[in-house]
Structures are given as structure tokens and as C-alpha cells.
Amino acid sequence: MAMNYNAKDEVDGGPPCAPGSTAKTRRPDNTAFKQQRLPAWQPILTAGTVLPIFFIIGLIFIPIGIGIFVTSNNIREIEGNVFMYYGLSNFYQNHRRYVKSRDDSQLNGDSSALLNPSKECEPYRRNEDKPIAPCGAIANSMFNDTLELFLIGNDSYPMPIALKKKGIAWWTDKNVKFRNPPGGDKLEERFKGTTKPVNWLKPVYMLDSDADNNGFINEDFIVWMRTAALPTFRKLYRLIERKSDLHPTLPAGRYYLNITYNYPVHYFDGRKRMILSTISWMGGKNPFLGIAYIAVGSISFLLGVVLLVINHKYRNSSNTADITI
């Protein structure tokens, strides 16, 4: 006897199976979860529930934003415990391909990744048939200007200001994420078989004479590898420690900044700058967060007022229409 087959059979899992065979079906189990019979809660948005939310957000965000903005403006960028930053403009460290162009295993000291870097590092993965260490576009574009600060004394003789180069990187980066490859006592031997990035003047094992600040654990390098979110940014370069509570870190006077120019910015139409700043509980001077809070709070409060007026107007119109009818 011929067996008829139609669309209903397909929906139900196919035609009837022969006796003794296992039934096959794609129908979900008859449970509350798979059949979407679970109880659900759907909020009903009314003027009485939405308007208070707008006003509460505005009343909370505006004072917080004003407080953050005033605190940021009170940070003095001359005196106190001073942090020296270098800044770049029109440099997009947040570009997708740029951010991915690194090998975290290599930076963590993995020997196999050292000699065989990730393909994400292309086109800065190999050079002259040797693996690049550190590989990638981020490392290749590392800022390498040298900044020196001098105080001009009464005798016009420049006195150098001590700039501390350690302690500028995050502790987790210095001690967890970045490690030199294992090997012999000499760092140069551990990087044997690799070559420096294309734009670097010297290899990674010659970044500093201090063994605790050389190679992948060089703090200038670590700071640069933490990419910025915006095209205009600053990165910590040096720390000027306060020696005495009786004297300012940087006394009033004339200062001389000596810059060894190694980092060109004209090809991406950028600008460089140096910033001296103190910090507060919210970090360095940056009014953006305060402005953002004030803007969000003001917009929320304004929307609340507008919606309140609209609701009052149309509710009165509705009541008038009901009376007329």
C-alpha cells in the first residue's frame, strides 16, 4: 500500500514510523519553559511611573557632575606632588585593527610566542625573516621622545629636576600581564633570534640599564601598550616626588624643558604636549566626566518637565472631551 506524505507530517516530525523503529520528532518538549507558558511581567509605562524617574536622575546626576567638575578645576597643574604627562592629539589608538595588533602571550613571556608571534601582529610580525619582539602596530608606534626638566637658578645655571621613571605603570600590568621570557642571566640572550620593531631605534632588551625596568617590563613601554579610548590623550611619563612638606615640589621660578625629538607627528597631522599636574581622589585634571554628568542630568530633567507639561495639557483636553460627550 502506498503511503501518503504531506506538510502536516513534516511539522509533526515526519510520516509514521514502521513498527519497532524509534520515533523521531523535532517538536519541543511539552514543558512550560519550552512551550513559552512561563508567567511573565510586563511593566506598563504611565506618566506616574516615568516622570519621577526623569526627575530623580536629573536631581542625582546634576549635583554629582557639579562636584566632579569643581574638583577637576581645583587640580593645580603646576604645584604639589607632580606627575609629568606627554600628550598626543589626532592619534587614534582606538582603531579596531590597531587595538588587536599585539600578542599578549608574547608580552607575557611565552617562549613559543616569542619566536612565533600571533598573526594579529601583521604587518609587524616579522622583519628580515626574524620575529619581531614586541610585535604589532601598538608596540611599533611607541612614543620615544625624551623629556628633561631644569630649574633656572639665580646664577642662570640650570638645575635638573629629578624625574622618577618607575612606579608609573599599573601594578597588574607590571607584575601580571607583562613578563620577560625565561632564560639566562643576560636579557639579550632571552631575546636571541628576534629583531626590534621597525620604527624602534634600539631593541627591547636595551630600553633601560635597570634590569627591573628593561625588556617587556619597561614601564614606559607598558604605559604605551594600554591604549587610549579617544584620539586626544595623555599618558604618564614621569613622577616628580615631593621631598619635603616645607617646600613645594616645583618652586616658583623659570624652568627649561629639553626635548629630544624622536617621535614625528606631522604625518598624521598630530600635536604633542607636556603636562605637569597634581591628582585628586578622581585622578588627574579631566573635566569630561563632570560635564557628562551635568549634561545627562540636565537633559533628563528637561525631558521630565516637557513630558509633564504634555501630560498635563492632554489630560485636561481628554477630561474636557469626556464632559462634552
pLDDT tens per residue across span 47-58: 888 888 889 999
Instruction: Please indicate whether residue 81 or residue 110 has the higher confidence score (pLDDT).
Output: 110
Q: How confident is the model at residue 281 (pLDDT cuts 50, 70, 90)?
A: low
Residue 98: predicted pLDDT:
96
Residue 312 has pLDDT above 90, yes or no: no
pLDDT > 70: what percent of the chain?
86
Q: How many CB atoms neighbour CB 240 within 10 A?
A: 18
Cell numbers for 187? 636579557
CA angle 56, 59, 64 (to 5 degrees): 125
Residue 247: predicted pLDDT:
74
Q: How confident is the model at residue 17 (pLDDT cuts 50, 70, 90)?
A: low
Q: How far apart are the first and last CA of the chain?
A: 72
Q: How confident is the model at residue 283 (pLDDT cuts 50, 70, 90)?
A: low
Q: How confident is the model at residue 299 (pLDDT cuts 50, 70, 90)?
A: very high
Query: Rounded mean pLDDT of 92-109?
Result: 96
User: Could you give the 3-state DSSP secondary structure of residue 126?
Assistant: strand
d(CA 223, CA 186): 24
pLDDT > 90: what percent of the chain?
58
Q: pTM of the predicted model, to two decimals?
A: 0.68
Q: How confident is the model at residue 11 (pLDDT cuts 50, 70, 90)?
A: very low
**309-310-311-315 Cα dihedral, nearest 10 degrees:** 110
d(CA 142, CA 121): 15
d(CA 122, CA 226): 19
CB of 23 within 8 A of CB of 13? yes
Cell numbers for 305? 518637565
Query: Rounded mean pLDDT of 138-160?
Result: 91
d(CA 76, CA 88): 21
Is the backbone peptide bond immediately before 52 cis, with ω within 30 degrees of 0? no
Q: How confident is the model at residue 10 (pLDDT cuts 50, 70, 90)?
A: very low
Where helices occur in the chain by DSSP H, the ranges are 7-11, 47-73, 96-100, 104-107, 111-115, 137-140, 171-172, 187-190, 219-225, 288-324
Residue 110 has pLDDT above 60, yes or no: yes
Least confidently predicted of 67-76, 151-160, 216-225, 233-242: 67-76
Q: What is the pLDDT of residues 111-136, one digit of tens each?
A: 999 999 999 999 999 998 999 999 99
